[in-house]
A = this chain, B = another copy of it.
Amino acid sequence: MPKVLVVDDDANIRELVRLYLEDEGIEVVQKGNGAEALEYTENQPPDLVVLDIMMPGMDGWALCARLRELGDMPVLMITAKGEPADRIKGFKLGTDDYLVKPFDPMELALRVKALLKRYRIAYSQTVRLGDLRLDRKSYHVVNKDGLELTLPMKEFELLYKLGSYPGQLFTRNHLIAEIWGIDYEGDERTVDVHIKRLRERFAGHDSDFRIVTLRGLGYRLEVYRD
């Protein structure tokens, strides 16, 4: 899950951006000023920065350069200035893309995704399991013939998680922490039940994968074909 740092003094805009990016399965961290953004980036550099160039008492261009020194990540600029001169200056400094206010948040999301893709930052909305495709946008499982299957949320998340790292072992705790949240208080056996349901759901489809139990350890998904 890629992490995007959004730097803007306007909390409304930050929230707007967060909403749209999170819908795309992108983690969003918000900072309201350059100092906080720099401090955060020093410790935990994000994968990409969305930066409003016009913030009070701050040189956005300098901030951009400093951020890139720290993390060397792509930066998408937001600017209210539409003058070509400014845009060019931004690009010279190494901005990777820009948007002019007021912008369509959907377009922002599209551009962020395009940047992540261009910079090959691990990010995929979809997971492929043989002929199956898990689409996180629609929570659909689609097979090659276009047959669709809608899974309940937990089942989908579980299969998606397992399928994201085929062959890798996941302990119940790990799965619970990822899907149910770190503060889940319920029974570990719940995972078993969802695994069971996934298994029987894909039993007839002479599957492209199977979920293997590692006794005493957890589960692992194995893909047959590719």
Q: Does A180 contact B (CB under 8 A)?
A: no
> From residue 144 to 197 of chain A, which have CB atoms closer than 8 A to chain B?
150, 152-153, 167-169, 171, 173-174, 177, 182-183
- A12-B182, A107-B110, A217-B153 given as contacts; is B87 within 8 A of A138 (CB)? no
- A153-B215, A220-B138 given as contacts; is B100 within 8 A of A15 (CB)? no
Contact B167 A140 (CB under 8 A): yes
- A117-B104, A118-B82 given as contacts; is B214 within 8 A of A139 (CB)? yes
Contact B177 A16 (CB under 8 A): yes
> From residue 75 to 113 of chain A, which have CB atoms closer than 8 A to chain B?
82, 84, 87-88, 91-92, 94, 100, 104-105, 107, 110-111
Shortest beta-carbon distance from A90 to chain B in Å: 10
Q: Does A225 contact B (CB under 8 A)?
A: no
Chain B residues with Cβ under 8 A from A118's Cβ? 82, 100
Q: Does A205 contact B (CB under 8 A)?
A: no
Per-residue contact bits, chain A 9-38, to B (CB 8 Å; 1 contact, 0 not): 000100110011001000000000000000
Per-residue contact bits, chain A 123-141, to B (CB 8 Å; 1 contact, 0 not): 0000000000000011110
Classify chain A's interface size: 35 or more
Q: Does A57 contact B (CB under 8 A)?
A: no
Q: Does A58 contact B (CB under 8 A)?
A: no
B19, B168, B173, B217: the one within 8 Å of A177 (CB)? B19
Chain A to chain B: the 3 pairs with minimum beta-carbon distance, closest first: A153-B216, A138-B167, A16-B182
Chain A interface residues toward B at CB < 8 A: 12, 15-16, 19-20, 23, 82, 84, 87-88, 91-92, 94, 100, 104-105, 107, 110-111, 114, 117-118, 137-140, 150, 152-153, 167-169, 171, 173-174, 177, 182-183, 212, 214-217, 220
